[in-house]
Amino acid sequence: MYRITYWLLYGHYCYSLALGTLRFRYDFNSNKAHITPFITYYSAVMNVLALTTLPWTYYTAVCTFLKNERVSRLGLYVFIATKTLRLLAVALVIVYNWQRRRDILKFIRDINHLRCVYFARFPLPFEWQRRFEIKIIKNMLSGILFDALRLIIVLGVHKNQVNVTFIISNVLFSLISNILYLNMNHYYFAMRTIILFGNVLNRQLADIIKSAKSVTRLRDHQRCRKQFKARCLTLSRELDELALVHVQLQSLALRINDILKWQGVGVLLNVFILNISLIHTIYSVLWVGEFTISQYGWVSVLMGIAYLVYTVDMVDFFVTILEHVRVFHKSSIHLELHANLPQMNKEFERSVESFQLQLSTNEYQMSLLGLFNFNSECVFSMFASVVANSILIIQFDYQYFQ
């Protein structure tokens, strides 16, 4: 790990502790997580403060928005819906994470144990390590940049109404909203780790299949029969171990999705309404003229940059979720290559059949609350719904509020 990645992760960890998002201490030297009384009490105080200030920040934001005469009534309704869902999602994250704190700790310990026992044996390609760290850095920096731009935009749009109460309210709202963003960062980091380990597993599986192909050449030589049996036995043991690690990694992925399932629902609802708000804002800029560059100047430019950062980060987030599902499906593809190989000995064939049975009976699927599977079709349907609802809101705005 590069030093810059280490310090960014450490800063992200300290910021999460300061906001009370993490309820445990993580030792970066020993890679161990444990609960301490001080962090527990501190997190409880910070979470209570966040929950008690939610109504005040919400009320102040709505009152400030009502004083802006340039905003239509429908724009106000969309704004209220966005604020409401975001704050409800934050409250859900705060309450639910306390219930699953020990589950999160167990997940961290189990994945670290798996890394030390199995994955530490294999050298990680430089390109994989660099891509992993770049993705993590981009995810952290994009969240910080978007939140900072959002705060500057709000202060710029309402510069005529700026006072001490207004500034404190928006700063508190940014800090409270960061609880949701930090939770998404933690989930993203877990998904990128599972993808990295899954790629290592698939590479090892491909190497075993490749080695089996070369070992078959020894079968027809009388002098190499013992060597052939020894190599088949070794490959069989490696494949059995890999199958065991595969099911453990798949179990870890299912566990982290189960731990954060309600937070995920809150995030998806927040993304849904925020995208509708984004499309309505673009419509207001281009056709209605509620927000124009001549009215707000540099604030309009920052608004465009903020929306661009948000869109890129959102797309990367969904691509990561879909990628971690595809990683587990690649194992089945690699095993299918074995069908083209000449027959090996009974031990190796038994290991292959066992692994294939494991993959077929425990096919990995990511579901939302057990209602439907989250896949590329689901993502497409969600964005199609965003566009359809945005068109309905724009038509409603044009007919009744213009």
Inter-residue contact 349 to 236 (CB < 8 Å): no
Residue 90 tokens, joined = 């934050």
- The pLDDT assigned to 223 comes to 61
Q: Which runs of consecutive H residues, i.e. helices, occur in 158-224?
A: 164-215
Give φ, ψ of 292 to 5 degrees: -135, 160
User: Which H helix or E strand runs over 117?
Assistant: helix 101-117
Residue 125 tokens, joined = 């390609």
- The pLDDT assigned to 100 comes to 82
Q: Which residue type is seen at 118?
A: Y
C-alpha span between 64 and 76 (Å, rounded): 11
Which residue from 286, 389, 402 is spatially nearest to 78, judged by alpha carbons? 389
Give φ, ψ of 283 to 5 degrees: -60, -40
- The pLDDT assigned to 196 comes to 92
C-alpha span between 111 and 31 (Å, rounded): 11
Cα-Cα end-to-end distance for the chain: 56
- The pLDDT assigned to 197 comes to 92
Q: How much is the pTM?
A: 0.85
pLDDT tens, position by position, for the chain (402 residues)?
567 788 888 888 888 888 888 888 888 888 888 888 898 899 889 888 888 888 887 777 777 766 665 556 666 677 777 777 777 878 888 888 888 888 888 898 899 888 888 888 888 888 888 888 889 888 888 888 888 888 787 777 777 766 777 778 778 888 887 888 888 888 889 899 999 999 998 888 888 888 877 776 666 665 666 777 778 788 888 888 888 998 899 999 888 888 877 777 767 777 777 777 777 777 766 665 555 545 556 777 787 788 888 888 888 888 888 888 888 888 777 666 655 555 667 777 888 888 888 887 887 877 766 556 777 777 777 777 777 777 777 777 666 555
